[in-house]
Amino acid sequence: MDENSAKNQILSLRHELNKHNYQYYVLNNPLISDFEFDKKMNELDRLEKEFPQFADSLSPTQRVGSDISKEFEQIPHLYPMLSLANTYSKEELLDFDKRIRKLIEGEFEYVAELKFDGTAIGLRYKNGKFEKAVTRGDGAMGDDVSANVKTIKSIPLVLQNSGFPDEFEIRGEILLPHSAFEAMNIERLENDEQAFANPRNAASGTLKMQNSGEVAKRKLDCFLYYLLSENLPHDGHFENLSLAKSWGFKISEHSKKLKSINEVFEFIDFWNDERKKLPFDIDGIVVKINSKRLQDELGFTSKTPRWATSYKFKAEQAETKLVSIDFQIGRTGAITPVANLQPVLLAGTTVKRASLHNADIINELDVRVGDFVYVEKGGEIIPKIVGVNLNKRNETLPKFEFIEICPSCNTPLVREDGEAQHYCPNSKNCAPQIKGKIEHFISRKAMNINAAEATVDLLFQNGLIRNVAGLYELKKEQLLILERFAEKSAQNLIESIEESKKVPFERVLFAMGIRFVGATVAKILAKSLKNIHAIMNANYEQLTQIEEIGERIAQSIIAFFNADENIEMLNKLIACGLQFEIEEASLSSNILDGKSIVISGTFEKYSREELKKLIETNGGKNASSVSKNTNFLLAGENMGPAKLEKVKKLGVPIISENEFLKMIGLL
């Protein structure tokens, strides 16, 4: 294919894929199958790699994000990004309506909108192309999160049709749909990470991640609700948003133009019930004056617009009796109190259990067995107790005392400074911890051994396994004498265990169950240190030099490999033939041997990933942050100001891309 044909094909595919993204993610009306879409995307990706002169940061292929860690730059808002005043009753809304009518003459229209429970964002466009995304921040300045926002497929990178201003900002809410939130929390719990409390926290935390490649995996969504420009097409807010939908933006179909405050009340009453059926969270209704002219006339207070307010729904609660409190023991020894309740209907489901989180929460609520408690379901994996009906309390109920010994092995519990949870330290002999570690080890994302939780319990109860290494010592003859095992099921388990020896190192590392080392961290560790011996022997400073490895993770890794029982188990697994190293890239030279190099900025001749690979294949080590151990900084355009300041402070040498290429013999 010649260059001109390639260019035309690339432009055509980009236009087509942008259209299909809009149909799928905004209109929820796909025109082609996922398979056909992927074929077109793969073809575009192939052409862009073959003809890099036509690269475009707004291409649909760029929505996967990057593994480049980037510090967020604070930039000023073009228009102040203020919060809304909140109201909690219809009386307060009536007061809002009366204030408006005193300030302006004649009739006007309201627009009522769903108040999405996510995190606010401002998107800037220039000549129909995405330019920048900025968080609320303090209302005057916000974080530039453009790289992360570009991964959200419901946000157009190139606008459709025409009629949009040359430059404008559109504001909205980034959120996580319920399905994506639940899947993410299940994965976090599998990785021994704390679950997000609600989709709002998850969306906010995701947007501030340093790795846009990870953001892309989390399936964020975005509804837009406010257009700002010096040249708006219409005076009506509702009309402007309707037009913005034709440009490719995801605008809620549930917004409504209303003529009176009574119609606003009807809208609120309707959505107070219907919100339970939505696939995402809302926490109220936003009420705005429709006319931009009247909005300008009403203006702002120092904190909020006078022409808009929000009505907040009350959180869904139910009252029921607390029957008892159980204590669950996790694979790390964490003790979690769980309330057993008289069954009660809440948000469409029957609730029998609720989280009490930890001892501090129990003390704060002063909850006692036999109390009538208020249960709330606000995005939690299981509902939570939020209060006690003291009017119904029997005064003879004793104050609840948190347990001091493990309910399984009778070991005294410990609670570290700064930790909310109590722990059982008896990791060697506490049955729930041992079984939990084995269940984690065999899970699909770890070793993928085909055995159910009941199977693990059966093997443990019969003394056939006492740790994960015991799996590799099992014989089919031992299984056949157990209940529930026949010839075929026994053979399948033995074969599945044998097959797991081929699982790559990063998954084996995740399977070992080191606290705070989830699947992503395990992959980073394996890639950075190459083999289990290097990880075992790494000190605190070496570990914290690795991207995404902070103080807490580093301390946990060191503590794990300082425990004799873990080293004993590891040696057995090594002897069994599991994968404990990754394949080394062949070295071009050892000219950078022992040198720690930090990359910052953008480059002309090579991408950052290509430069990182050149560092590795010439014997060097990529570091994510500048320290006294950094040998030099490889600097491009627009390097991070924080890195530059630290480099100057520590006296670390700075080299350019050309100087680096000369150093390794490519120039």
Just list the catalytic residues.
115
Q: CA 148, 149, 153: angle at the middle one, nearest 5? A: 115
Cross-strand bridge partners of residue 228: 169
> What is the C-alpha end-to-end distance of the chain, expressed in Å?
30
Using N-to-C axis directions, what is the helix angle for 551-561 and 564-576, rounded to 10°? Answer: 80
Judge whether 168 and 159 are in contact, CB under 8 Å: no
**In whole angstroms, what is the distance from residue 307 CA to residue 300 CA?**
8
Other CB atoms within 10 A of residue 105 CB: 8
Alpha-carbon distance of 343 to 322, in angstroms, equals 10
**Angle CA 495–497–498, to nearest 5:** 65
Beta strands in 176-263 (DSSP E): 221-228, 256-258
| Size of the chain in residues | 667
In the numeric block, the tokens 């049955």 are attached to 431
* 132 within 8 A of 121, measured Cβ to Cβ: no
Sheet holding 654-655, edge to edge: 621-623, 596-600, 632-635, 654-655
Tell how far CA 120 is from the center of its chain: 16
75 contacts: CB under 8 Å, gap ≥ 6: 132, 134, 141, 142, 143, 144
Q: Which residues contact 253 (CB under 8 A, 6 or more apart)?
A: none
